[in-house]
Chain A
Amino acid sequence: MTDNNHTLLSIRNLSTHFFTEQGLVKAVQDVSFDIPLGKTLAVVGESGCGKSVTALSVMRLIPWPPGKIVAGEIEFDGQLLLDASERRMREIRGNDIAMIFQEPMTSLNPVFTVGNQIVEAVKLHQKKSGSEAWTVAVEMMRKVGIADPERRVEEYPHQMSGGMRQRVMIAIALCCSPALLIADEPTTALDVTIQAQILELLRDLQRRHQMSIMMITHDLGVVAENADHIVVMYASRVVEKADSEELFAKPLHPYTQGLLRSLPRLGEKKERLDVIDGAVPNPLHFPSGCKFHPRCPIGKDDSRCQTEEPPLKEICPGRHAACWYAGENKDE
């Protein structure tokens, strides 16, 4: 079954809750989406929407206490991850599914050289001797575009710039040729010109290795240029799913519409920016009904939106939205 639309990762009805001193935080509720082989899926949302927690749930890195995956299934290449043993998960992490994070300075260990850290990843999963592993490390650094890798392999993270460190993170992630790369805000902390370099690197590596990427970000520009499919999350739920082109051409959910409208765009001349009123809700006190309704131009006065939570429905083929009025509104 290796047709183009083979699904590599399938998340079904995932729910992850945090049992904190201040109350129950339902960080992720009933989230479902699929990542096809060799494609990039972007999970988009603002702070607190649950996108990072979703990624950590896939890797089963949710700390307990206080967090716990309470429901759902995650299927990776035929295996059910939530049922797998911890030992099996350790074999998968770094090897079949790899993750890179936002802040390379804190994700890299400051007391080890970068070479050491790549070698550690290699040795964990591949049966290679010390010197073989170092050769692999140098090769990986070259592959991710670090010039003069033989020398730089001995450097420490603080001696490198942000862009370099992110490349090192990518090298660590890719040294075992994973099938899925989870990138959690990989370029948010980088300058725009460096961001362009890193994104191009990721696209190039994806092409060469036929790797799937789950990219988590809040930057819709990055999404537009890098993602094939998009999942929009708001306040712990998926509110819209679509192919990239279709989402930007015609967003169905009012949140997505508001988000796209409120972005200041190059070359656009507006007197005032469009806004979404209000702010992201506190996860301890989600609103009743549709979580977006207090900020929604339609929902704030609609009794159905205030009381009933809309399910994620397929509005037209390949397009899902969680809104009672999706497809009906005339905006955009």
Chain B
Amino acid sequence: MSETRKHLVEVRNLKTHFPIKAGLFSKTVGHVKAVDGVSFKIEAGKTLGLVGESGCGKTTVGRTLIRLIQPTEGAFTFDGDDVFSLPRKAMKAFRQNAQMMFQDPYGSLNPRMTVGTVVGEAMGVHRVGSKKQRRDRVAELMDKVGLSPAHLNRYPHEFSGGQRQRIGIARALALDPSFIICDEPVSALDVSIQSQIVNLLQDLQKQMNLTYLFIAHDLAVVEHISDFVAVMYLGRIVEYADRDTLYANPVHPYTQALLSAIPEPIPNKDKKRIVLGGEVPSPSNPPSGCAFHPRCPLAEEQCKRQLQTLLPKGGSDQHLAACWKAK
């Protein structure tokens, strides 16, 4: 889709396979295909929501893009640069522009470092600014995320879960990145705090023109914050659309089941629920053909034999689904 607006993030056919070693000499006997051919684009300033259940590979996608995990195949173009083939020096520059936010407020901050050190560490590593400038910037960042700068000498365990996530956001913003991968940022928080953090992320996006890859399993939160949504199942994207279209008119049977499975806080709502049978299969031993066929209410012979590719649906090439039966 070559348009006038350039896509900040372009991912093409990303694959991340982990070898399974067995036997006396640790021979590679197979692969866990955590991510098996994922492609998407994100425009600058927009949010792509990446949803799916456990084992679908969404977290692995995030970690591979930030190169915490090595990709097996595929390309990732960020602002015109091919990230996977960047030399070390250029990688450092990339890390100033692309950052990550983690899920666990209790595990993602070093318990032995003060909050000020945590937030300011990136500046030290990349040798940005003088000591005083860094200190000022840390205070500025803490204020930006809603924390008092007077607390920069405190330790993570002195803060609540929601506050720790704010610290994580401040850390990610330290070098003024343009792209942030949010890996389940609110899943581990209390319900009444989740909305505070979601609002904060939206405010920051508007203020700083940030681009988000928002990885989550809570579809209601994703609906609120995303511009586009991609649904993953067992390492692949099964449906992709802009937010409104996906929620109003999901065409892939998995998306439909996923949306219908969400319990809504409306009692006695007459919900035609699609309850899927079976279990989520293991990525080390995926079913043949379309990975969803063992649980799909529409499955046929062809589904077992043939791998499904993303096809445009509903007359628009912005709405893609990997199912030949979907309208």
Binds B, one of A30-38, A109-117, A274-282, A321-329: A274-282
Instruction: Give B189-205 interface residues, CB cut-off 8 Å to A.
Output: 190-196, 198-199, 202
Query: A127 on the interface (CB 8 Å rule)?
Result: no
Q: Please give the distance in Å from B85's CB to the nearest CB on chain A.
A: 36
Residues in B with CB closer than 8 Å to A161 are 279-280
Q: What 1/0 flags go to B259-290 for Cβ under 8 Å of A? A: 10111111111010101110110000000000
Q: A220-B191, A265-B220 are in contact. Are A164 and B279 (CB under 8 A)?
A: yes
Residues in B with CB closer than 8 Å to A279 are 160, 162-163, 190, 193
Q: Please give the distance in Å from B163's CB to the nearest CB on chain A.
A: 7
Q: Complex Cα distance A276/B191, Å?
A: 10
Q: Complex Cα distance A259/B44, Å?
A: 33
Residues in A with CB closer than 8 Å to B137 are none
User: Could you tell me if A263 and B261 are in contact, using CB atoms closer than 8 angstroms?
Assistant: no
Q: A161-B279, A191-B54, A266-B259 are in contact. Are A224 and B224 (CB under 8 A)?
A: no
Q: Complex Cα distance A42/B279, Å?
A: 27
Residues in A with CB closer than 8 Å to B227 are none
Residue of A with least CB distance to B53: A191
Q: What 1/0 flags go to B131-174 for Cβ under 8 Å of A? A: 00000000000000000000000000000111100000000000
Query: A205 on the interface (CB 8 Å rule)?
Result: no
User: Could you tell me if B221 and A264 are in contact, using CB atoms closer than 8 angstroms?
Assistant: yes
Residues in B with CB closer than 8 Å to A202 are none
Q: Please give the distance in Å from A216's CB to the nearest CB on chain B.
A: 14
Residue of B with least CB distance to A280: B190
User: Could you tell me if A224 and B264 are in contact, using CB atoms closer than 8 angstroms?
Assistant: yes
Residue of B with least CB distance to A192: B261
Query: B299 on the interface (CB 8 Å rule)?
Result: no
Q: Please give the distance in Å from A213's CB to the nearest CB on chain B.
A: 15
User: Could you tell me if B267 and A221 are in contact, using CB atoms closer than 8 angstroms?
Assistant: no
Query: B73 on the interface (CB 8 Å rule)?
Result: no
User: Could you tell me if A263 and B280 are in contact, using CB atoms closer than 8 angstroms?
Assistant: no
Interface size on A, residues (CB 8 A): 44
Query: B102 on the interface (CB 8 Å rule)?
Result: no
Q: Complex Cα distance A279/B196, Å?
A: 10
User: Could you tell me if B262 and A274 are in contact, using CB atoms closer than 8 angstroms?
Assistant: no
Residues in A with CB closer than 8 Å to B224 are 264, 270, 273
Residues in B with CB closer than 8 Å to A244 are 267
Q: A275-B195, A276-B192 are in contact. Are A192 and B265 (CB under 8 A)?
A: no
Query: A260 on the interface (CB 8 Å rule)?
Result: yes
Q: Please give the distance in Å from A250's CB to the nearest CB on chain B.
A: 12
Q: Please give the distance in Å from B70's CB to the nearest CB on chain A.
A: 27
Query: B7 on the interface (CB 8 Å rule)?
Result: no
Q: A164-B279, A264-B220 are in contact. Are A220 and B265 (CB under 8 A)?
A: yes
User: Could you tell me if A259 and B191 are in contact, using CB atoms closer than 8 angstroms?
Assistant: yes
Q: A263-B191, A266-B223 are in contact. Are A193 and B265 (CB under 8 A)?
A: no
Query: A238 on the interface (CB 8 Å rule)?
Result: no
Q: Complex Cα distance A244/B224, Å?
A: 26
Chief secondary structure at chain A's binding surface: helix
Q: What 1/0 flags go to A221-263 for Cβ under 8 Å of B? A: 1111110000000000000000011001000000000111011
User: Could you tell me if A222 and B192 are in contact, using CB atoms closer than 8 angstroms?
Assistant: no
Residues in A with CB closer than 8 Å to B258 are 192-193
Query: B83 on the interface (CB 8 Å rule)?
Result: no
Query: A195 on the interface (CB 8 Å rule)?
Result: yes
Q: A200-B275, A263-B220 are in contact. Are A273 and B195 (CB under 8 A)?
A: yes
Q: Please give the distance in Å from A241's CB to the nearest CB on chain B.
A: 15
User: Could you tell me if B268 and A199 are in contact, using CB atoms closer than 8 angstroms?
Assistant: no
Q: Complex Cα distance A225/B199, Å?
A: 28
Cβ-neighbour of A194 out of B220, B223, B266, B279 (below 8 A) = B279
Residues in B with CB closer than 8 Å to A46 are 190-192
Residues in B with CB closer than 8 Å to A192 are 53, 217, 219, 258, 261-262
Q: Complex Cα distance A46/B220, Å?
A: 19
Residues in A with CB closer than 8 Å to B221 are 264
Query: B94 on the interface (CB 8 Å rule)?
Result: no
Residues in B with CB closer than 8 Å to A83 are none
Query: B247 on the interface (CB 8 Å rule)?
Result: yes
User: Could you tell me if A196 and B261 are in contact, using CB atoms closer than 8 angstroms?
Assistant: yes
Residue of A with least CB distance to B160: A279
Q: Complex Cα distance A280/B191, Å?
A: 11
Q: Complex Cα distance A330/B323, Å?
A: 49
User: Could you tell me if B265 and A260 are in contact, using CB atoms closer than 8 angstroms?
Assistant: yes
Instruction: Give A137-164 interface residues, CB cut-off 8 Å to B.
Output: 161-164
User: Could you tell me if A221 and B265 are in contact, using CB atoms closer than 8 angstroms?
Assistant: yes
Query: A197 on the interface (CB 8 Å rule)?
Result: yes
User: Could you tell me if A275 and B192 are in contact, using CB atoms closer than 8 angstroms?
Assistant: yes
Cβ-neighbour of A273 out of B190, B199, B219, B268 (below 8 A) = B199
Query: A5 on the interface (CB 8 Å rule)?
Result: no
Residues in A with CB closer than 8 Å to B217 are 191-192
User: Could you tell me if A275 and B264 are in contact, using CB atoms closer than 8 angstroms?
Assistant: no
User: Could you tell me if B267 and A224 are in contact, using CB atoms closer than 8 angstroms?
Assistant: yes
Q: Please give the distance in Å from A129's CB to the nearest CB on chain B.
A: 33
Query: A302 on the interface (CB 8 Å rule)?
Result: no
Q: Complex Cα distance A274/B265, Å?
A: 16
Q: A200-B275, A264-B223 are in contact. Are A221 and B263 (CB under 8 A)?
A: yes
Instruction: Give A251-310 interface residues, CB cut-off 8 Å to B.
Output: 258-260, 262-267, 270, 272-276, 279-280
User: Could you tell me if B195 and A193 are in contact, using CB atoms closer than 8 angstroms?
Assistant: no
Instruction: Give B238-255 interface residues, CB cut-off 8 Å to A.
Output: 247
Residues in A with CB closer than 8 Å to B202 are 272
Q: B interface vs A, CB < 8 Å?
A: 53-54, 160-163, 190-196, 198-199, 202, 217-221, 223-224, 247, 257-259, 261-269, 271, 273, 275-277, 279-280
